[in-house]
Amino acid sequence: MNLIVRHSISTILASALAMLATVFSFAQHTNTLTVTLDGDTKEISVQQEFAYENNSDIILNVLYFNDWAHAYSNKNTGLAKRFDEEFKRSLHLAKDSERGYTKILSAVDDNYRGLRWKRTTEQDIIRIELNSPLMPGESAKFFLTYTVKLPANKFTPYGYDKNNNYYLKDWYLTPAYFDGEWHLYSNKNLEDLYTGVTKTNVNFNFPTSLNLVSNFDVLGSSSFPNGQIAQLRSIQQKNCEIILTSTKRFTTHVTPEMTVITDIESARYNDIAKGISVNRITKFIEENLGVYPHSHLLVSEIDYNKNPLYGINQLPSFIRPYEEQFQYEMKFLKTALINILEETLFLDPRKDQWLSDAIANYLMIAYVEEFYPDQKLLGKLSKIWGLRSFNLAKMDFNEQYPFLYMLTARKNLDQPLLTSNDSLIKFNQKIANKYKAGLGLSYLASYVGKDKVDKGIKTFYKHYKLSRVKTLDFESILKRMTNSNIDWFFQDYVSTDRKIDFKIKKVEKTEDSLYVTLKNKKGTNVPISLFGLKNDSVVSKYWFSDIETEKTVAIPRKDEKRLVLNYDQKIPEFNQRDNWKSLGGFFSSNKKLKFTFFRDSENPYYNQVFYVPVLNFNIYDGWTPGMRLYNKTLLERPFVYDFSPSYSFREKSFVGSGSFSYRKYLSKSGLYVANYGLGASTYHFQENSRYSKITPSFSLGWRPENLISNKREFLTFRFVNVLRDKDESLTDFETPPDYGVFNARYTNRNPGIINYLSWFADAQHAKDFSKLAFELEYRQLFENNRQFNLRFFAGKFLRNKTTDYTDPNYFSFALDRPTDYLFDYGYLGRSEDSGIYSQQIIIAEGGFKSFLPQQYRFANDWMTTINTSVNLWRWIEVYGDLGYVKNKGIPGKFVYDSGIRLNLLTDYFELYFPLYSNNGWEVGQPNYGERIRFIITVSPKTLTGLFTRKWF
């Protein structure tokens, strides 16, 4: 009875507090705007009357306003810096006519006295000094007149497009949120404007040719010569979103639960079917979340594109992996949930975003479980011959949540859910943390009971919608819904990045019981589920908690043939390869080999070996087809082997490469990774002349605490063993055929797209020489869009006995074409000194582009060079190189060259046309075509780095 009384009292108190919070939330700011859009200049003229309510107990002398439209104004705003971190140059390279900005014409108080104002460092927040202090409980009215120049929508969805459509969001001045301290959040393209709830009226004038929809109430509209006006109003909303289109593409659906205005597309799904789907979704949302409090909900294709369904559904539309109904409903459901929660839960959107992500993705998981329980992740593709055997094709749709979260967890790039939105790497901000949040509630529901979590979400939404809310409010409600201890969820799952990883260590069987020893490999004390299976059917399920290190539990024997941890994938477990134990005998736990064509997702019940045909080329081996065998799955794993045996048709012999590597992550920042490796390769370097290379290696990596930073440092040690055999018909080796080189290198890289800085210090020691080298590369993209490139190289022999060789330059520093005695570079014809293959250039050592006389091309004592280039127009650059080459026993030589560089794709595809050098004016000399140099990169792994760098 006492428990019931306490529960009733706590429920009454919670309701009273929620009602009190709702009452206080009605003490809103008020805002009236008169706005005119000029379709020719793409400018909005704004007259704004704002009444600021001081709801705090602090005297205010300054106010801060968000001016996010100004984030597009130049190359130094917070938005521009964010784009730099994500390797996006669009805003930096934009024309002035494409940019957006706010021009404030006047700011006065209610006595028409001028207000002093200035912009903060990141330029999209305005600081306004009040003429007299604003006391607690009082309000201050002032008037602002300004013009907003809209940007082109090539940077973000905001602004205008080439078809004269407009998307306006965060387009006028709104008050920054104040709760005893100012929360000043710059626009970083994160959709997380933090502003006070405001009662707003907008009189919006716009061209006759456009059609208007908004998240605000449209009270009425009327036409006048050369234009039209709409009256918009909101009472408890944060910001006015307006979409203007040249064609009528929005449809209004009136359902029993809410009115929806949408243009979500599905070309092969008719309007009647769309209406049925919208009805089903709005009913599901009201039953599982609650009543939407506003007059209508805007669900646009623009909003969907900002948060799409990542994964297989982003394939080109003609592939269509999913049925039209499923595709449409998931698009609509996701967009609707995000918009509802944004419009009604007034969280700190930068620091508490995980909570709305958790609710939205939890409900999406629940929707699929209820209406599409058999939906596969690959959709219709999972039934195609050749694909259906893949483990990925057998995964259910909802299994994508732990899978995509684990992409960053396995890379040691996962971040706690409480991490501020602007500190998340892009993949976490867009995908992984959102999925982990939703999966977390699903995990909790599986543990305490789905009905309890469902009731907790509905209770939370009922009491806290349209009011300021924090994570603690949600936590307190969930804890009241269950008698189970769920502290682990908020203290470990939400607040930290600790991994979850359990294994079945051993199983002892008796006639009626099983004694199972469970081991907690990571020490994260959270509950774990144990399933008993018979012929892939679940015959038992148990939950166990408080396993700090190791625990033996007893369960009744129910004819299980196999025990599996986390069989239903509700827990985002780090490694599931040791989650099962067969009860069939001593050898039954040995996993069978499974060969799979191409890379697949992990199947914990097999030792997977992947195979894929490969085709390589160099002029000595010709085309070398082969078969690549490896164990690397779609998720990163610590130990990886990779072998590519191939056959050279030109040499009629086997060639190829192979490697073993082990990666150990040590921490999140600082010294974060250790890599151990053993690699080998064998190819031909001349006709009927083979080289074999065996290289053990060890490296350490460092990174800063800010995971968004692209800066990395590495210290690498390796011992390169080279064995060479030469055709007897060719002349004898002019250098030792076999040699070993110990190589140590420290590398420091910060590869920003605006400011690029990379340098290394390298030491090599061999039997006959020791040498040091230093290289620095710097790129700067200036505000006038001129890019300057600088590379500096210096190398010095500490000891050199190679001058006694017949070919003394084999181990020397090279001015224009390194000999590559370590066989590191991707030369198509490494031994060529004439012909097209000799014109391939690797920018290393001297980095010169012109072929200078032989006596200047190498240095057996020391060398220093500077390589520079600057662009003339887009990818056309002029380059110049300077250097000094010193060989033993002869005077040094000053060298130089210059020419035109076509920088089509930096470091991947470039052309160099020499103009003037020590050779003189090269264009007028014979055989100029043989002087042109080129860079080409065909490695798929290297090329994919261009795209993945934006996400990780």
Q: Report pLDDT digits (tens) over 215-242.
A: 999 999 999 888 999 999 998 898 999 9
Structure confidence at residue 386 (pLDDT)? 82
Three-class SS string for 425-462? CHHHHHHHHHHHHHHHHHHHHHHHCHHHHHHHHHHHHH
Residue 938 has pLDDT above 80, yes or no: no
pLDDT tens track for 559-604? 888 899 999 889 999 998 888 888 876 545 567 888 999 898 888 8
Q: d(Cα 905, Cα 128) in Å, to the nearest integer?
A: 46
Q: d(Cα 753, Cα 781) in Å, to the nearest integer?
A: 8
Q: Are strands 858-859 and 528-534 parallel, antiparallel or unpaired?
A: unpaired
pLDDT tier at 942 (50, 70, 90 boundaries)? low
pLDDT tier at 388 (50, 70, 90 boundaries)? confident
Section 829-834 average pLDDT:
87
Count Cβ atoms below 10 Å from residue 721 Cβ, excluding itself.
14
Q: Give the amino acid at 222.
A: S
Residue-wise over 632-654: b if at least 16 C-beta within 10 A, else e? Answer: ebebbeeebebbbbbbbeebeee
Phi, psi of 271 (to 5 degrees): -65, -35
Q: Which residue has the tokens 């000799």?
A: 838
For the chain, what is the largest distance between any 2 Cα atoms, rounded to a whole number of angstroms? 103
Q: d(Cα 563, Cα 545) in Å, to the nearest integer?
A: 17
Adjacent-strand bridge partners of 895: 883
Adjacent-strand bridge partners of 685: none
Q: Are strands 125-134 and 60-66 parallel, antiparallel or unpaired?
A: antiparallel
Structure confidence at residue 583 (pLDDT)? 84
Structure confidence at residue 803 (pLDDT)? 79
Phi, psi of 942 (to 5 degrees): -70, -40
Q: d(Cα 638, Cα 924) in Å, to the nearest integer?
A: 57
Rounded to the nearest 5 degrees, what angle is found at the Cα of 879, between the Cα atoms of 891 and 745? Answer: 65
Adjacent-strand bridge partners of 615: 625
pLDDT tier at 943 (50, 70, 90 boundaries)? low
Fold of 252-497: Neutral Protease; domain 2 (1.10.390)
DSSP annotation string for 833-885: SSSGGGGB----TT---S---GGGSEESSEEEEEEEEEEEETTEEEEEEEEEE
Q: With CA atoms as reference, report the closest residue to 672 among 709, 697, 641, 642.
A: 709
Rounded to the nearest 5 degrees, what angle is found at the Cα of 940, between the Cα atoms of 305 and 389? Answer: 75
pLDDT tens track for 861-920? 999 999 999 999 888 999 999 999 999 989 999 999 999 999 888 777 899 999 999 999
Structure confidence at residue 782 (pLDDT)? 86
Section 655-671 average pLDDT:
95
Phi, psi of 264 (to 5 degrees): -55, 130
729 or 739: which carries more pLDDT confidence? Answer: 739
Section 259-286 average pLDDT:
94
CB 716 within 8 A of CB 738: no
Q: d(Cα 665, Cα 638) in Å, to the nearest integer?
A: 9
Cα atoms found within 13 Å of the Cα of residue 337, Cβ hemisphere only = 28
CB 543 within 8 A of CB 502: no
Q: Which residue has the tokens 């590597």?
A: 661
Structure confidence at residue 937 (pLDDT)? 74
Q: d(Cα 545, Cα 527) in Å, to the nearest integer?
A: 4
Structure confidence at residue 605 (pLDDT)? 82
pLDDT tens track for 473-489? 999 999 999 999 999 99
Section 811-838 average pLDDT:
91
Q: Give the amino acid at 668.
A: K
For the chain, the average pLDDT equals 91
Helix 450-464 to helix 471-480 angle (10° resolution) is 130
Residue 728 has pLDDT above 90, yes or no: no
Residue 302, C-beta contacts closer than 8 angstroms, at least 6 positions apart: 157, 167, 243
pTM of the model: 0.91
Count Cβ atoms below 10 Å from residue 687 Cβ, excluding itself.
14
Cα Rg of the chain (Å, integer): 33
CB 700 within 8 A of CB 671: yes
Sign of torsion over alpha carbons 620, 622, 626, 628:
positive
Fold of 666-948: Porin (2.40.160)
Kindly state the percentage of the chain with pLDDT values over 70.
94
Structure confidence at residue 8 (pLDDT)? 39
**What Cα–Cα distance (Å) separates residue 278 from each residue in 291, 310, 330, 370?**
15, 21, 11, 16
Structure confidence at residue 10 (pLDDT)? 41
Q: Which two tokens stand for residue 571?
A: 């827990």
Structure confidence at residue 591 (pLDDT)? 76
Residue 311 has pLDDT above 80, yes or no: no
Kindly state the percentage of the chain with pLDDT values over 90.
76
Residue 687 has pLDDT above 70, yes or no: yes
pLDDT tens track for 275-286? 999 999 999 999
Q: d(Cα 605, Cα 576) in Å, to the nearest integer?
A: 9
DSSP state letter for 379 = G
Q: With CA atoms as reference, report the closest residue to 329 among 349, 346, 309.
A: 309
DSSP annotation string for 564-600: EETTT--S--S--TT-EEESS-GGGGSPEEEEEES--
Count Cβ atoms below 10 Å from residue 383 Cβ, excluding itself.
11
Count Cβ atoms below 10 Å from residue 547 Cβ, excluding itself.
18
Structure confidence at residue 909 (pLDDT)? 86
Residue 24 has pLDDT above 50, yes or no: no
Rounded to the nearest 5 degrees, what angle is found at the Cα of 696, between the Cα atoms of 690 and 697? Answer: 125
Residue-wise over 792-804: b if at least 16 C-beta within 10 A, else e? Answer: bbbbbbeebebbe
CB 813 within 8 A of CB 845: yes
Q: Which two tokens stand for residue 417?
A: 């859910």
Section 30-43 average pLDDT:
96
CB 364 within 8 A of CB 330: yes
- Please count the helices (runs of H) and the strands (runs of E) in the chain: 14, 49
